[in-house]
Amino acid sequence: MLVRRLSLVALIVCLWLAGGLRFYRLGAQSLWNDEGLSLGLAQSDVPSILRSAAADIHPPGYYLLLKVWYSLTGDSEFALRGLSALAGLVLIALLYRLGRVYFDRPAAIAASLLGALNPFLIYYSQETRMYALAATLGAASFLLFSLWLRSSRPPASSWGDRQLAIGYVLVTAAGLYTHYAFAFVILAENVAALGGLLAHARDTGRYRLLAWFGLQAAALILFLPWLPTAVHQLLNWPAATAHPPFFTALADLWRYLVFGRTVDTASVWAGLIGAAILLLFALRRRGQTITPLIWLFVPAALTLGFGLLTDAFSKFLLVAVPAACLLLGHGLVGLPANLFVLPPATPASTPAGRKPAPRYGQRMLFAVGVVAWWLAVFAVGAGLYTSLNNLYFNPVYARDDYRGIAQYVQSVYRPGDTIITIAPNQVQTFAYYHRSGAEVFPLPHARPLDPAETAAALASITANHSRLFVLFWGDDQADPAHFVENWLNTHAFKAGDTWYGQVRLATYAVAAPASAPAVPSGARFGDHITLQGYSLPSASAHPGDILQLTLFWQTDAALDARYKVFVHLYDDPAQPPLAQQDGEPGGGLAPSNTWAVGVNIADNHGVLIPNTLPPGRYTLMIGLYELFTGARQTVTLNGAAQGDRLELGTVTVQ
Cα four-point dihedral sign 315, 320, 322, 326: negative
- Residue 589, judged by CB atoms within 10 A of its CB (0-12, 13-18, 19+), counts as middle
Give the E-state strand segments of 475-588 in sequence order. 492-500, 503-510, 519-525, 529-535, 540-541, 546-555, 563-570, 579-583
Collect all residues with Cβ–Cβ distance below 8 Å to 264 and sequence separation of at least 6.
255
For residue 652, give the 3-state DSSP assignment.
strand
| Banded model confidence at residue 356, pLDDT cuts 50, 70, 90 | low
User: Is residue 343's pLDDT more than 50?
Assistant: no
User: Is residue 266's pLDDT more than 80?
Assistant: yes
Q: Which one is predicted more confidently, 342 or 199?
A: 199
Q: How far apart are CA 71 and CA 557, in angstroms?
A: 65
User: What is the pLDDT, as a whole number, of residue 474?
Assistant: 85
Q: How far apart are CA 468 and CA 506, in angstroms?
A: 8
CA–CA–CA angle 226, 230, 233 (5° rounding): 140
User: What is the pLDDT, as a whole number, of residue 340?
Assistant: 43
CA–CA–CA angle 326, 329, 331 (5° rounding): 115
Q: How far apart are CA 512 and CA 466, in angstroms?
A: 11
φ, ψ at 365 (rounded to 5°): -60, -40
User: What is the pLDDT, as a whole number, of residue 205?
Assistant: 57
- Residue 538, judged by CB atoms within 10 A of its CB (0-12, 13-18, 19+), counts as exposed
Mean pLDDT of the chain: 91
Q: How far apart are CA 32 and CA 343, in angstroms?
A: 60
Range scoring the smallest mean pLDDT among 80-89, 120-129, 511-520, 554-563: 511-520
pLDDT tens-digit readout, 7-20: 899 999 999 999 99
Percent of the chain with pLDDT over 90: 79
Give the E-state strand segments of 259-388 in sequence order. none
| Banded model confidence at residue 359, pLDDT cuts 50, 70, 90 | low
User: Is residue 448's pLDDT more than 90?
Assistant: no
Q: Are 623 and 646 in contact (CB under 8 A)?
A: yes
- Residue 557, judged by CB atoms within 10 A of its CB (0-12, 13-18, 19+), counts as exposed
User: What is the pLDDT, as a whole number, of residue 477?
Assistant: 81
Percent of the chain with pLDDT over 70: 94
User: What is the pLDDT, as a whole number, of residue 229?
Assistant: 95
Q: Are 608 and 548 in contact (CB under 8 A)?
A: no
- Residue 360, judged by CB atoms within 10 A of its CB (0-12, 13-18, 19+), counts as exposed
User: What is the pLDDT, as a whole number, of residue 346?
Assistant: 47
- What single letter denotes the amino acid at residue 555? T
- What single letter denotes the amino acid at residue 362? Q
Query: How confident is the model over 100-126, as a mean pLDDT?
Result: 97
Collect all residues with Cβ–Cβ distance below 8 Å to 270 and sequence separation of at least 6.
379, 382, 383
- The DSSP symbol for 342 reads P
pTM of the model: 0.89
User: Is residue 400's pLDDT more than 70?
Assistant: yes
pLDDT tens-digit readout, 473-502: 988 888 989 999 999 999 999 998 999 999
- The helix or strand, by DSSP H or E, that contains position 651, with its residue range, turns out to be strand 646-653
Range scoring the smallest mean pLDDT among 9-18, 191-200, 235-244, 346-355: 346-355
Residues forming beta bridges with residue 509, ordered by sequence position: 467, 493
Range scoring the smallest mean pLDDT among 218-222, 311-315, 621-625: 311-315
- What single letter denotes the amino acid at residue 562? R
Instruction: Tally the residues of the chain.
Output: 654
Q: Are 633 and 526 in contact (CB under 8 A)?
A: yes
Q: Are 124 and 268 in contact (CB under 8 A)?
A: no
CA–CA–CA angle 233, 236, 240 (5° rounding): 110
- What single letter denotes the amino acid at residue 517? P
User: What is the pLDDT, as a whole number, of residue 378?
Assistant: 97
Range scoring the smallest mean pLDDT among 266-275, 330-339, 562-571, 587-596: 330-339
- b/e map of 212-222 (b: 16 or more CB within 10 Å)? beebbebbeeb
User: What is the pLDDT, as a whole number, of residue 96?
Assistant: 98
Q: Which domains does the chain have, with CATH numbers?
A: 131-237 (no CATH), 404-510 (3.40.190), 519-653 (2.60.40.3880)
How many CB atoms within 10 Å of residue 242? 13
In angstroms, the Cα distances linking 463 to 100, 419, 457 are 68, 14, 10
User: Is residue 200's pLDDT more than 80?
Assistant: no
User: What is the pLDDT, as a whole number, of residue 476?
Assistant: 81
Q: How far apart are CA 134 and CA 455, in angstroms?
A: 42
- Write out the DSSP string of 423-447: STTHHHHHHHH--SSSEEEE--SSS
Q: How far apart are CA 565 and CA 135, in angstroms?
A: 49
Q: Are 435 and 390 in contact (CB under 8 A)?
A: no
Cα four-point dihedral sign 107, 113, 116, 119: negative
- SS3 string of 369-419? HHHHHHHHHHHHHHHHHHHHHHHHHCHHHCCCCHHHHHHHHHHHCCCCEEE
Q: How far apart are CA 600 and CA 623, in angstroms?
A: 17
Collect all residues with Cβ–Cβ distance below 8 Å to 93 and sequence separation of at least 6.
11, 15, 112
Q: Are 332 and 114 in contact (CB under 8 A)?
A: yes
Query: Omega before 423 cis (within 30°)?
Result: yes
Collect all residues with Cβ–Cβ distance below 8 Å to 37 and sequence separation of at least 6.
56, 425, 428, 429
